[in-house]
C-alpha cells in the first residue's frame, strides 16, 4: 500500500511539475513585437494630452510676459481725427483734429511696469516647471501601469498552470475516495483549492483588461493587442539620505514653483516702491492738419505738417494708493516666503519617507525571494508532498507582488529626487 501511495503521489507531483514548470521564470525571451517599457514611456510622452495642455499653458504664460514687455518696445499708431469743427478746433479727446495722425510711444524708465514684467517672467518659468512635473507624472503613471500589467500576466500564467494541476489533483483525490483510500473531506478540500484558484484568475483577468486599456490610452495604441515584456526591472537609487534630501530640494517642482512665486512677489514689491519714482517715456507725434478746421482764426500761423518729439515724464508728489500698494506687496511677499518654507519642509519629509519606504520594500522583496527559493528547493527535495508545487506558485505570485511594490517605491523616490527623466532618456 505504501508503495502504491508513493507512486500515486509521485504521479500527482508530476502533474504539478508539468503544469507549472519546476522553475518558472517570469523573464521571457524578448519578442520584437512586444511593447517595451521604454517604448511605452516614449509613446505616452508623445501622445499625452496633459503634456500638450501644460505646454500650451507655458506658451500662454510666455505670451502674457510678452504683453508686459511690449510697453518697453516701440509702439506706433496711426489714424485720422478729421472732423468738422465750429469754434476752437478740438476733438472729443481734447487734441487737435488732424487729417492724418502718427504717434509713437516707448516706456524708458517705469519701475512699476518693470516689476510687473519680471513677475510675469518668473511665473512663466513656474509654468515651465509645471510642464516638467506633468511630464514626470505621465512617466510614473505609464511605467506603473506597464509594470503592473506585466506582473498580472505573469501571475495569470502561473495560476492557470496551478489551476490545471489542481484539477488533476481533484480528479485523483476523487478516484482515491471512491476506492476508499481517502476521506470524503479531501474531495471538498481539493474543490475549495480549485475554486480559490479560479477566483484569483477571474480577478486578475479583470485587472488585466483594465490595465491593458489604460496602457492603450496612455500610449495611443488603441485597437492593438498590447504585449508587454515580463523581465524584472529595477530602479534602484544608490544615495545617502542626506544626498537624496538635497537632490529633492534642488529638483522638486513644488519648491521651485514656490521660489519663483516668491521671486515674482519680490519684483512686485520693488515695482510698488518704484511708484515713488518718476516715469519716463519717449513720445512722438506727426499730424497733417486741414484749414477747414479754422486754425487761422485762433492761431497767428497755420502749418499743415506738424511734428512733436520728446520725453514725457511724470513725477509723483503724493499718492495714498502707492503706500497701500507697498503694504500689500510686503504682506504678499511674506506669505510667499512662508509658503516656500512649508514646501521645503514637506519635500524633506516626503523624500525621507520615500527613502525609508524603499528600504522596507527592499527587505520585503528579499523575504519574498528567499521564500520562493525555499519553495523551489523543497519541491526538488520533498517530491513526496502533494501540494508543494502549488505552494511554489503561491510564492512566485507573492514574489511578483513584492517586486512590483518595490518598483513603485523606487519610481516614486526617483520622481521626488528629480532623477526620473535620466532613467528613460
Q: How are the residues of the chain apportioned to helix, strand and coil, as percentages rounded to the nearest 5?
A: 70, 10, 20
Same domain, 65 and 80: no
Question: Helices (H) and strands (E) in the chain — how many of each?
Answer: 11, 4
Residues 343, 329 contacting (CB under 8 angstroms): no
What is the residue whose three cell numbers read 529638483? 251
Residues of the chain with pLDDT under 50: 1-32, 382-389
The pLDDT value given to residue 21: 41
**Distance of alpha carbon 88 from alpha carbon 162, whole angstroms:** 103
Q: Which residue among 315, 339, 371 closes a domain?
A: 315
Q: Which residue among 260, 291, 315 closes a domain?
A: 315
Q: At a CB cut-off of 8 Å and minimum separation 6, what does 425 contact?
A: none
Residues 201, 167 contacting (CB under 8 angstroms): no
Same domain, 244 and 309: no
Same domain, 27 and 167: yes
Q: At a CB cut-off of 8 Å and minimum separation 6, what does 400 contact?
A: 26, 151, 154, 155
Same domain, 48 and 128: yes
What is the residue whose three cell numbers read 519642509? 345
**Distance of alpha carbon 3 from alpha carbon 234, whole angstroms:** 48
* Cell numbers found for residue 367: 523575504
The pLDDT value given to residue 295: 75
pTM metric for this prediction: 0.64
Q: Which residue among 315, 331, 364 closes a domain?
A: 315
Residues 317, 135 contacting (CB under 8 angstroms): no
Question: How many domains is the chain partitioned into structurally?
Answer: 2
The pLDDT value given to residue 412: 65
β-strands 305-314, 100-109: how paired?
unpaired
Same domain, 17 and 103: no
**Distance of alpha carbon 142 from alpha carbon 51, whole angstroms:** 13
The pLDDT value given to residue 377: 67
Same domain, 142 and 286: no
Residue 296 buriedness (CB in 10 A; 0-12 / 13-18 / 19+): exposed
What single-letter DSSP state applies at residue 27? -
Residues 129, 257 contacting (CB under 8 angstroms): yes
Same domain, 37 and 80: no
* 321-338 pLDDT, tens digit each: 888 888 988 898 898 889
Instruction: Report the greatest alpha carbon distance in the chain.
Output: 138
Order of strands, sheet of 75-79, starting from the edge strand that comes earlier in the sequence:
75-79, 100-109, 279-288, 305-314
Same domain, 18 and 96: no
Q: What is the CATH number of the domain that holds 392?
A: 1.20.1600.10
Same domain, 228 and 310: no
**Distance of alpha carbon 255 from alpha carbon 264, whole angstroms:** 14
Q: Residue 256's closest CA among 145, 419, 127?
A: 127
Q: Residue 214's closest CA among 266, 261, 149, 136?
A: 149
The pLDDT value given to residue 19: 42
DSSP 395-415: HHHHHHHHHHHHHHHHHHHHH
What is the residue whose three cell numbers read 519606504? 357
What is the residue whose three cell numbers read 514656490? 258
* 33-85 pLDDT, tens digit each: 578 888 888 888 888 889 999 999 999 989 988 888 888 888 888 877 666 66
* 277-308 pLDDT, tens digit each: 888 888 888 888 877 777 777 777 778 888 88
Same domain, 41 and 26: yes
307 has which bridge partners? 286
Provide the residue range defining the domain that includes 273.
Answer: 2-73+110-277+316-423
Same domain, 136 and 193: yes
Residues in the chain, total: 425
Same domain, 169 and 292: no
Amino acid at each position: 500500500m505504501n508503495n502504491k501511495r508513493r507512486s500515486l503521489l509521485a504521479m500527482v507531483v508530476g502533474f504539478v511539475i508539468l503544469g507549472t514548470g519546476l522553475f518558472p521564470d517570469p523573464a521571457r525571451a524578448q519578442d520584437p513585437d512586444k511593447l517595451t517599457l521604454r517604448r511605452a514611456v516614449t509613446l505616452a510622452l508623445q501622445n499625452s494630452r496633459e503634456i500638450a495642455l501644460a505646454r500650451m499653458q507655458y506658451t500662454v504664460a510666455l505670451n502674457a510676459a510678452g504683453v508686459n514687455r511690449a510697453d518697453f518696445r516701440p509702439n506706433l499708431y496711426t489714424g485720422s481725427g478729421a472732423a468738422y469743427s465750429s469754434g476752437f478746433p478740438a476733438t472729443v479727446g481734447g487734441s487737435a483734429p488732424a487729417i492724418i495722425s502718427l504717434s509713437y510711444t516707448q516706456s524708458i524708465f517705469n519701475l512699476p511696469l518693470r516689476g510687473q514684467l519680471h513677475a510675469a517672467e518668473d511665473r512663466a518659468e513656474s509654468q515651465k516647471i509645471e510642464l516638467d512635473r506633468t511630464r514626470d507624472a505621465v512617466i510614473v503613471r505609464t511605467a506603473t501601469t506597464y509594470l503592473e500589467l506585466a506582473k498580472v500576466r505573469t501571475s495569470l500564467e502561473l495560476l492557470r498552470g496551478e489551476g490545471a494541476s489542481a484539477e488533476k489533483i481533484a480528479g485523483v483525490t476523487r478516484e482515491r475516495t471512491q476506492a476508499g483510500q481517502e476521506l470524503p473531506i479531501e474531495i471538498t478540500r481539493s474543490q475549495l483549492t480549485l475554486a480559490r484558484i479560479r477566483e484569483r484568475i477571474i480577478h486578475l483577468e479583470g485587472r488585466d483588461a483594465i490595465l491593458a486599456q489604460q496602457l492603450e490610452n496612455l500610449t495611443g495604441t488603441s485597437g492593438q493587442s498590447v504585449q508587454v515584456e515580463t523581465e524584472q526591472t529595477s530602479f534602484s537609487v544608490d544615495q545617502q539620505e542626506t544626498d537624496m534630501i538635497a537632490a529633492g530640494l534642488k529638483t522638486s517642482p513644488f519648491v521651485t514653483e514656490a521660489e519663483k512665486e516668491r521671486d515674482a512677489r519680490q519684483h512686485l514689491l520693488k515695482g510698488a516702491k518704484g511708484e515713488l519714482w518718476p516715469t519716463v517715456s519717449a513720445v512722438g507725434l506727426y499730424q497733417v492738419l486741414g484749414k477747414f478746421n479754422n486754425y487761422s482764426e485762433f492761431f497767428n500761423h497755420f502749418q499743415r505738417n506738424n511734428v512733436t518729439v520728446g520725453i514725457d515724464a511724470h513725477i509723483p508728489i503724493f499718492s495714498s494708493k502707492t503706500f497701500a500698494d507697498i503694504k500689500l506687496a510686503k504682506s504678499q511677499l511674506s506669505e510667499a516666503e512662508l509658503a516656500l518654507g512649508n514646501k521645503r519642509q514637506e519635500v524633506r519629509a516626503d523624500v525621507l519617507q520615500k527613502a525609508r519606504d524603499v528600504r522596507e520594500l527592499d527587505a520585503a522583496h528579499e523575504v519574498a525571494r528567499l521564500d520562493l527559493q525555499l519553495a523551489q528547493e523543497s519541491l526538488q527535495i520533498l517530491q513526496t508532498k502533494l501540494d508543494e508545487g502549488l505552494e511554489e506558485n503561491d510564492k512566485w505570485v507573492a514574489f511578483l507582488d513584492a517586486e512590483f511594490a518595490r518598483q513603485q517605491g523606487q519610481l516614486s523616490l526617483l520622481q521626488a529626487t528629480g532623477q526620473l527623466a535620466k532613467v528613460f532618456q
